Amino acid sequence: MHWPTSLPLLCSTILPFVTGSLALPKARSNKHYAIMDNDWYTAGFVPYLIALDGGVDVLGLASDTANSWQPQVALHAVATLEAGNLSCIPVYPGATWPLINTPERFQAWETIHGKLPWEGAFAPENKTLEAQGNDPTSGNPNRIVKEAFKEGYPKGKPDNSTSAANFMVEMVHKYPGQVSIYSAGSLTNIALAVRMDPQFASLAKDLVIMGGYVDLNMLEATGSIMLADYQSDINLMIDPEASKIALTADFPEITIAGNVANQVFPTKEFVEEVASVKNPYSELFSKYYDLSFPFWDETAAALMVDPSLATNQTSVYLDVDTSYGSPNYGNIHVYQKALAPGGIRQVNYVFEVDADKLKNRVKHALQYPKTCADLKK
């Protein structure tokens, strides 16, 4: 199972001689698959449309608890796939609970270390907000708030024949070295897969995450609450222990879309341009995509499809603070090699992407979305 790492070496030395004769098997083995794990919501379909538009074969979506509880976001995944005839892509339910975190534990931490502007699934339960169409937070994690399905309540259900973590493990064994694991919510399912199968991480192609902010504390203090919101790392903070397990595992590569995920924002003009080509996704996007937020999950998805989107990145050793007594609990800390502690690894930390290329990917994916009929071809 060492070929994913030794292949680049092989290619660089003998590529001129093998490309012709091995063209067919090579094309097959180069197929890029992905499992996309997220806290899906009404306008959360852009990442998988970007992947499909970029020729990535999306094996399945997984649900996690981050902005809201897992059972609710799994149904959003099903609903948004149904909106555009993409129900051939299965949705596998992930873990509802973080490894050890709970709303009560998180809220107690906030009493000592300060409130987050965005508390995700751990915000106090608020029936008024739910009645207005907000996804559920705190309270019973299995309740479903139908008012939040502005994309339409799904007819189908998640595929619970297996769990998200099991599905990830099975797929990396089926397609070793070819499956990207994309995560734009909590890393709970990925940590479970890492611990369940010691080969899991090394058999994947890479791990690409949205989250992992660094060096933004002064901005949290001196800017507006909204600016503080942009720098708060809820995806990692919902489940700090899982974040550490996932981000120190031996994936061939890990790419962090943290600070860079705040670089590119949608504008009213951009949304209008997208909506000039009518289809269910361009319409949902123009109705429900919130212009106050940057292309967070979209930036990570585009980097998964095309790593050359990054125009400035560095390689650093990365750890996650798992000390509950720390104000940085659930945040990352980076090191240079000579000073890094044991047990952590190098990651690609992206600083900047080509904004026009990113916007073009978002636009094309939304204007000409793939359907299951295209995926069968």
Ligand X SMILES: *[C@@H]1O[C@H](CO)[C@@H](O)[C@H](O)[C@H]1NC(C)=O
Nearer to ligand X among residue 84 and residue 90 (C-beta):
84
The nearer residue to ligand X, 279 or 346, going by C-beta atoms, is 279
Nearest distance from C-beta of residue 5 to ligand X, angstroms: 27
Residues that bind ligand X (CB under 6 A): 84-85, 124, 126, 128-129, 160-161, 279-280, 312, 351, 371
Minimum CB–partner distance for residue 371 and ligand X (Å): 5
Q: How far is the CB of 22 from ligand X (least distance, A)?
A: 37
Distance CA 17, CA 281 (A): 45
Query: Least CB distance from residue 129 to ligand X, whole Å?
Result: 5
Residue showing tokens 């906030």: 110
Q: How far is the CB of 28 from ligand X (least distance, A)?
A: 28
Q: Which is nearer to ligand X, 137 or 235 (CB)?
A: 137
Which residue, 107 or 322, has its beta carbon nearer to ligand X?
A: 107
Beta bridge partners of 91: 61
Task: Look at strands 206-210 and 254-257 and give their pairing.
Answer: parallel
71 vs 176 by CB, closer to ligand X:
71
Q: In terms of CB distance, is 29 or 134 closer to ligand X? A: 134
Query: Toward ligand X, which CB reaches closer, 135 or 239?
Result: 135
Query: In whole angstroms, how close is the CB of 256 to ligand X at the nearest point?
Result: 13
Q: Which residues contact 355 (CB under 8 A, 6 or more apart)?
A: 263, 264
Q: Kindly tell me which of 161 and 222 has the beta carbon lying closer to ligand X.
A: 161
Residue 371, CA distances (Å) to 92, 197, 352, 359, 368 in order = 19, 33, 31, 21, 9
CB 10, min distance to ligand X, A: 32
What's the closest the beta carbon of residue 312 comes to ligand X, in angstroms? 4
Looking at beta carbons only, is 243 or 262 nearer to ligand X?
Answer: 262
The 10 Å CB-count burial string (b at 16+, else e) for 288-301 is ebeeeebbbbbbbb
Min. distance of Cβ 199 from ligand X in angstroms? 26
